[in-house]
Amino acid sequence: MADLSSGHGLGIYRQARIRTTAAAAVLLLVPFVVFHFIFEFRVLKNLPELHSQLHLYATLSVVLGLVLSVTFGRFVSNHILKLANRLEKALWAIEERERERDSAQEELIKKLEAERELVRQRLQFESRLAEYEKYAALAQLALGAAHEINNPLLGILSHLELELKDARTPDERIEIEQCIEGAKRISATIRSLLNYARPGPLQLSRMSIERLVGETLAFLKNQPLFRNIRLETKIPYDLPAITADANQISQVLVNLLLNAAQAMPERGEINVSADRVMDGHKIEVRVSDTGQGIPPDILPHVFAPFFTTKRGKGTGLGLSISQSYIRGHAGEIHIQSTPGRGTTVRFTLPVQQDGVAMPKAEGMVG
């Protein structure tokens, strides 16, 4: 419907008036015409003197009927148009309320989503804060324990090496070598603990991920652990150089590759790939294996210090140190694993460290 102020509304009004007037004229005039026809041919045949008077009255009646029809049609059409305008206003008010309701619902949904996001961020922040507090306490404990253990351990190692030189029988020699191996393992664990608890400042340089991966694989592929493992790489040639600590990132790669190899005691395949992500501002490196995978109940704990499933073969600090190094570069590290199908570790690194000028090309480290 449209109101009277619009051209479309005036057209509708005229149509309604014409149709109503025509209907009124039909209702008023048809019975009269029928009556006049019957009366003239049935009654006035024998009364010609009344014929002229009847025509006069009929003409006046027709004119009066037309006037009444026009008046009635205008009245009815105006009334219909008023009702139509009221209906249109009511419909418009309903539509406006529906729009307001939809807008309020959308606003409520946005507020709920924003609140849900805030709750998620708060829980994530609290979890990260609790993790940092735990690690800070562990770091203080590690520093004190490392100092108390390392100094006597050096003396023990020195004494065992002297004893090894003076060993008289093969059995004595084997026993002393086992002691030395155990002491060295304790020393390696302490060094790892110190690296985790007190990582040194980043020695940043411009480095090529492709070159670093190639050199790391070349170093490891001749190790006995990798003899039955196929090593594959898929790194774009145009991947940009990044600003990072080459020694730390190399240690992360070594840790991940060793874990992958240890998950495939018989044979398998390790694939190292990299791509640009986040509109080219970060590099994502992926280390995938076809090993045994990690059970879902163990996966949430793999970054916890001293957590290991390799009884007697690992310190449980490899992934913890790797996570510490990656986060020290403002990056992230995540693990996806399917038991029986393999594991993929992804870590991202920014191309450029915030607040650090890009070193010149000749400073590139592989």
Give the per-residue pLDDT at 315.
66
The CA angle 305-309-314, to the nearest 5 degrees, is 65
Instruction: Give yes or no for residue 146 having a pLDDT over 60.
Output: yes
Look up the CATH architecture of domain 203-363: 2-Layer Sandwich (3.30)
Query: Which of 184, 193, 176, 111 lies closest to 153, judged by CA?
Result: 184
Percent of the chain with pLDDT over 90: 22
Contact 243, 358 (CB under 8 A): yes
Model confidence pLDDT, tens digit, residues 30-66 = 666 665 665 555 555 555 555 565 566 666 666 666 6
Q: Which of 127-131, 225-229, 334-338 has the lowest mean pLDDT?
A: 127-131
Contact 315, 188 (CB under 8 A): yes
Name the more confident of 319 and 138. 319
Give the per-residue pLDDT at 22.
64
At a CB cut-off of 8 Å and minimum separation 6, what does 12 contact?
A: 1, 2, 81, 84
Give the per-residue pLDDT at 82.
80
Query: Within 13 Å of residue 277, how many CA atoms lie on the same side as its CB?
Result: 14
CA torsion through residues 200, 204, 205, 210, sign: positive
Top mean-pLDDT range of 130-134, 171-175, 352-356, 361-365: 171-175
Contact 284, 240 (CB under 8 A): no
Mean residue pLDDT across the chain: 78
CA torsion through residues 59, 63, 65, 69, sign: positive
Whole-angstrom distance, CA of residue 14 vs CA of residue 12: 6
Model confidence pLDDT, tens digit, residues 179-191 = 888 888 777 777 7
pLDDT bracket for residue 362 (50, 70, 90) = very low
Contact 301, 309 (CB under 8 A): no
Give the per-residue pLDDT at 153.
83
Q: CA separation (Å) from 351 to 89, 348, 357? A: 61, 9, 12
Whole-angstrom distance, CA of residue 48 vs CA of residue 45: 7
Whole-angstrom distance, CA of residue 146 vs CA of residue 196: 12
Model confidence pLDDT, tens digit, residues 78-126 = 777 787 788 888 889 999 999 999 999 999 999 999 999 999 888 888 8
